[in-house]
Chains A and B, each alone.
Chain A
Amino acid sequence: MGFFGKLKEGLSKTRSGFVDRISNLVSGKREFDEDFFEELEEILVQGDVGVNTALELVDRLRDAVKEQKIKETERLYQVLEQSIVEMLGEDQPLNVGAKPSVIMVVGVNGAGKTTTIGKLAHQFKDQGKRVIIAAGDTFRAAAIDQLEVWANRVGTQIIKHQEGSDPAAVAFDAIQAARSRNADVVIIDTAGRLQNKTNLMKELQKVHRVINREDPAAPHEVLLVLDATTGQNAISQAKVFKEAVGVTGIALTKLDGTAKGGVVLGIANELKIPVKLIGVGEGVEDLRPFDAEEFARALFAREED
């Protein structure tokens, strides 16, 4: 199945929600009046897009309808998609050109960091890259074991310390190991933390600092793993993690439910952090590069597309 198909399948629940409602909204209505725009706002808000961003999108659409005298549903979709794509910004692939490329993975508790790392490692491995993963979540019970299961499954090396040890030391060792073992990619797991825990954010900054001291170009990527079911708090997460460790991209996980992940629109719009990966299923191959256009199209495409 192609990427688009997989994404569509993953988003099908989302899509049927969005699209059915927009279709229903449009059919039987000749004009796009205020009621229409209000209901559109409602649909967007229900997709966790957030009130402010939803209003902005609706305003854009309203202007476009007026200026271009849009009458057809088809055209309206196009404009809506276009606006969303614009908001999401240009697609940016993972920056893994350097050797070794260091990817630091951060996020709140339960976002899916460890699983994302497992899948990511698997994909790098398939590309013929040598991967080292670092078990930097030394806090949560059995987090190291969980990552180790993934390492064994994927067949990649893992650097680990004891539970409760210093995560910065694990990162340091991982980079050293990557150099001596000639690895291409180092993926560093970190413990989940809520962004308002100052001490824990400081700990994360230390990990970042240690990585950066070892290699001034590293970390090449700081991925914020975001659960697609998260609401507007995701904006706060993105903001604080960005300030603390310079998040370079978002991995949006658990898009395979009815969750819409609309909050990434707000994040891209307000904080200019691009989405780089999306998780559309439980399988290893279900972690995908993000494609704004297809994301928007899949969100709004109708059944026969």
Chain B
Amino acid sequence: MALFAGLAEKLQGTFQKLKGKGKLSEADVKKAMREVRLALLEADVNYKVVKDFVSKVQERAVGQEVLKSLTPAQQVIKIVNEELTNLMGGEQSKIKIASKPPTVIMLVGLQGAGKTTTAGKLANVLRKQGRRPLLVAGDIYRPAAIKQLQVLGEQLDLPVFSLGDKQSPVNIARAAVEHAKNHGNDMVIIDTAGRLHVDEELMQELSDIKENVEPDEILLVVDAMTGQDAVNVAQTFNEQLGLTGVILTKLDGDTRGGAALSVKAVTGCPIKYAGVGEKLDALEPFHPDRMAGRILGMGDVLSLIEKAQDSFDEEKAKQLEKKIRQQQFTLEDFLEQLQQMKSLGPMEEILSLLPGMGNVKQLKNLQVDEKELVRTEAIIQSMTPEERRRPEIINGSRKKRIAAGSGTRVQDVNKLLKQFNQAKKLMRQLAGDQSKLAKRMSKKRKKSGFGLPFFR
């Protein structure tokens, strides 16, 4: 796993000597792609998919101008990332709703992929959208599979249709659709038996169900931890049944989830949902762009860069720089910074986007507390403009007022003022060497937009 965390760094290393060069040479790109290839393979992306992908990216990358704002390594990452996102599919896709209810959804997949649990979760999601789902117990083989669905139905307070394990799944499915029509259920979710995809009998049974109830969606449920075999699974099910989409399960594990890419590449079907936990509400719409970053395992560096560049106002930054140099940095500026940071999105998300920050431990060490940011903002906003400009005038009674106004305690106000003073002091030190500061500011801004003294 360390291999991935290190990918961005490795790439950086590979391109260290490239600094200052304007174009990506073939040899350099090749070197970089070797690392990308390894990362993808270790992430369980299918070998053939990796091969195609790497050659495609290589072709595109060689000879490309390196954008002024990026290092060559970042440029390659950018291309890799774009191509990966392309491959994963641009935007998230929804369940197709039948023009004439009920909408019939069939869940298929291997044993242990998580079909039954997913059926429950999906029903829950659909109900939240105002639908009236009916769960159908179509797995008559696995011991207690019907019972499992019934228990889930009880927990969710949703109806479960079963004819026991003596009727054929085809009959069950047909009867279930009738039942739904008569009982006002506009969604029918059919759980099917999982077996091995080489099992022709099962495939026949599934296609019989398909012919009989003409489902609007046939969703393949795939374990995100699946290895190279994901390609075969997806291909077989797709050829036999014609899939309309995929649900990826167990994505809350620490797998890179390369199977997602393999399945997408082989079937062309969109991944519609992802299972992200044991609880019954842990099914989320799938975000292809996020998955690309995860598979690559290097944090979505580029989207961070883009994000930062979008929300960071160059003009303001220059002003700020000037202020710092003239040692006029005030609490007002502090607040402005804060708001800029907030517009980037949740702190933890931003940090996790940075390579090497995926590790939870490291995040904890940084102790970025979203709540504290909000508190800090409230405190500053409870100050008068005069106080913000000249914090030294804040005395005991002003502190009390500020604390009351922001719903905090005097200690919190004190803490903020102390931090502000420290930050100011730090800036003064930095400002001591003006040219150095200017250089640092511009360089950092280019890289991530974090050339700001906000991180203490």
* Interface residues, chain A, with chain B CB atoms under 8 Å away: 13, 42, 45-48, 50-51, 108-112, 139-143, 145-146, 148-150, 153, 163, 194-197, 227, 229-234, 236, 254, 256-260, 263, 282
Q: Which chain B residues border A197 with CB–CB below 8 Å?
A: 252
* Partner among A109, A195, A230, A234 whose Cβ is within 8 Å of the Cβ of B114: A109
In this assembly, does B142 line the interface, its C-beta being within 8 Å of a C-beta of chain A? yes
Closest Cβ neighbor of A227 among chain B residues = B112
In this assembly, does B143 line the interface, its C-beta being within 8 Å of a C-beta of chain A? yes
Q: Which chain B residues border A13 with CB–CB below 8 Å?
A: 198
Closest Cβ neighbor of B155 among chain A residues = A141
Q: Which chain A residues border B227 with CB–CB below 8 Å?
A: 48, 229-232, 234, 259, 263
Smallest beta-carbon distance A203→chain B, Å: 12
Question: When chains A and B are docked, how far (Å) is the Cα of A34 from the Cα of B401?
Answer: 77
By the criterion CB–CB under 8 Å, are A50 and B42 in contact?
yes
Question: When chains A and B are docked, how far (Å) is the Cα of A234 from the Cα of B42?
Answer: 11
By the criterion CB–CB under 8 Å, are B259 and A257 in contact?
no
By the criterion CB–CB under 8 Å, are A254 and B111 in contact?
yes
By the criterion CB–CB under 8 Å, are A260 and B228 in contact?
yes
Given contacts A141-B148, A150-B143, contact A229 B223 (CB under 8 A): yes
Question: When chains A and B are docked, how far (Å) is the Cα of A279 from the Cα of B307?
Answer: 49
Q: Which 7 A-B pairs have the closest CB atoms?
A: A231-B227, A110-B112, A231-B44, A149-B143, A141-B151, A142-B148, A146-B144
Q: Mark B5-23, 1 if CB is under 8 A from A, else 0.
A: 0000000000000000000
Question: When chains A and B are docked, how far (Å) is the Cα of A197 from the Cα of B227?
Answer: 21
Question: When chains A and B are docked, how far (Å) is the Cα of A224 from the Cα of B162?
Answer: 34
Given contacts A139-B278, A256-B196, contact A232 B229 (CB under 8 A): no
* Interface residues, chain B, with chain A CB atoms under 8 Å away: 1, 38, 41-44, 46-47, 110-114, 117, 142-145, 147-152, 155, 195-198, 223, 225-230, 232-233, 250, 252-256, 258-259, 278
* Partner among A233, A256, A260, A282 whose Cβ is within 8 Å of the Cβ of B225: A233
Q: Which chain A residues border B278 with CB–CB below 8 Å?
A: 109, 139
Question: When chains A and B are docked, how far (Å) is the Cα of A147 from the Cα of B188?
Answer: 29
By the criterion CB–CB under 8 Å, are B142 and A146 in contact?
yes
Smallest beta-carbon distance B10→chain A, Å: 14
17 CB contacts below 8 A, A to B, read: A46-B46, A48-B229, A110-B250, A142-B147, A143-B148, A146-B145, A146-B148, A150-B143, A153-B143, A196-B253, A196-B254, A229-B110, A234-B225, A254-B111, A254-B196, A257-B197, A257-B198
Q: Which chain B residues border A194 with CB–CB below 8 Å?
A: 250, 252-254
Q: Given A146-B148, A233-B256, list of 20 further CB < 8 A pairs?
A: A46-B47, A48-B44, A109-B112, A110-B111, A110-B112, A110-B223, A110-B250, A140-B117, A141-B152, A145-B147, A146-B144, A148-B144, A196-B252, A231-B259, A232-B227, A233-B44, A257-B110, A258-B197, A258-B198, A260-B229
Q: Which chain B residues border A254 with CB–CB below 8 Å?
A: 110-112, 196
By the criterion CB–CB under 8 Å, are A140 and B148 in contact?
yes
Smallest beta-carbon distance A143→chain B, Å: 8
Q: Which chain B residues border A260 with CB–CB below 8 Å?
A: 228-229
* Partner among A145, A146, A196, A257 whose Cβ is within 8 Å of the Cβ of B229: A257
Closest Cβ neighbor of B223 among chain A residues = A110
Given contacts A46-B47, A194-B250, contact A51 B226 (CB under 8 A): no
By the criterion CB–CB under 8 Å, are B112 and A42 in contact?
no
Q: Which chain A residues border B151 with CB–CB below 8 Å?
A: 141-142, 163
Closest Cβ neighbor of A240 among chain B residues = B254
Q: Which chain A residues border B232 with CB–CB below 8 Å?
A: 258
Question: When chains A and B are docked, how far (Å) is the Cα of A111 from the Cα of B233?
Answer: 16
Question: When chains A and B are docked, how far (Å) is the Cα of A195 from the Cα of B252?
Answer: 10
* Partner among B46, B47, B114, B255 whose Cβ is within 8 Å of the Cβ of A110: B114
By the criterion CB–CB under 8 Å, are A231 and B143 in contact?
no
By the criterion CB–CB under 8 Å, are B38 and A51 in contact?
yes
Question: When chains A and B are docked, how far (Å) is the Cα of A232 from the Cα of B42?
Answer: 6
Which of A42, A196, A229 has the most chain B CB atoms inside 10 A of its CB? A229
By the criterion CB–CB under 8 Å, are A236 and B254 in contact?
yes
Q: Which chain B residues border A142 with CB–CB below 8 Å?
A: 144-145, 147-148, 150-151
* Partner among B148, B197, B226, B250 whose Cβ is within 8 Å of the Cβ of A109: B250
Q: Which chain A residues border B226 with CB–CB below 8 Å?
A: 229-231
Given contacts A194-B253, A231-B258, contact A145 B41 (CB under 8 A): no
Closest Cβ neighbor of A261 among chain B residues = B227
Smallest beta-carbon distance B100→chain A, Å: 33
Question: When chains A and B are docked, how far (Å) is the Cα of A148 from the Cα of B147?
Answer: 12
By the criterion CB–CB under 8 Å, are B41 and A195 in contact?
no
Given contacts A141-B148, A195-B253, A256-B196, contact A232 B44 (CB under 8 A): yes
Question: When chains A and B are docked, how far (Å) is the Cα of A163 from the Cα of B155?
Answer: 12
Q: Which chain B residues border A51 with CB–CB below 8 Å?
A: 38, 41-42
Question: When chains A and B are docked, how far (Å) is the Cα of A229 from the Cα of B195?
Answer: 13
By the criterion CB–CB under 8 Å, are B228 and A46 in contact?
yes
Question: When chains A and B are docked, how far (Å) is the Cα of A108 from the Cα of B438?
Answer: 52
Question: When chains A and B are docked, how far (Å) is the Cα of A146 from the Cα of B1?
Answer: 35
Question: When chains A and B are docked, how far (Å) is the Cα of A194 from the Cα of B255?
Answer: 10
Q: Which chain B residues border A48 with CB–CB below 8 Å?
A: 44, 227-229
By the criterion CB–CB under 8 Å, are B1 and A236 in contact?
yes
Question: When chains A and B are docked, how far (Å) is the Cα of A289 from the Cα of B344?
Answer: 55
Closest Cβ neighbor of B48 among chain A residues = A46
Question: When chains A and B are docked, how far (Å) is the Cα of A257 from the Cα of B202?
Answer: 13
Which of B43, B195, B196, B258 has the most chain A CB atoms inside 10 A of its CB? B196
By the criterion CB–CB under 8 Å, are B229 and A233 in contact?
no
* Partner among A42, A108, A229 whose Cβ is within 8 Å of the Cβ of B250: A108
Which of B44, B142, B152, B258 has the most chain A CB atoms inside 10 A of its CB? B44
Question: When chains A and B are docked, how far (Å) is the Cα of A50 from the Cα of B41?
Answer: 8
Smallest beta-carbon distance A172→chain B, Å: 24
Smallest beta-carbon distance A178→chain B, Å: 23
Which of A145, A148, A263, A282 has the most chain B CB atoms inside 10 A of its CB? A145
Q: Which chain B residues border A230 with CB–CB below 8 Å?
A: 223, 225-227
Smallest beta-carbon distance B206→chain A, Å: 16
* Partner among B38, B114, B144, B229 whose Cβ is within 8 Å of the Cβ of A149: B144
Question: When chains A and B are docked, how far (Å) is the Cα of A47 from the Cα of B46?
Answer: 10
Smallest beta-carbon distance B9→chain A, Å: 18
Question: When chains A and B are docked, how far (Å) is the Cα of A226 from the Cα of B113?
Answer: 13
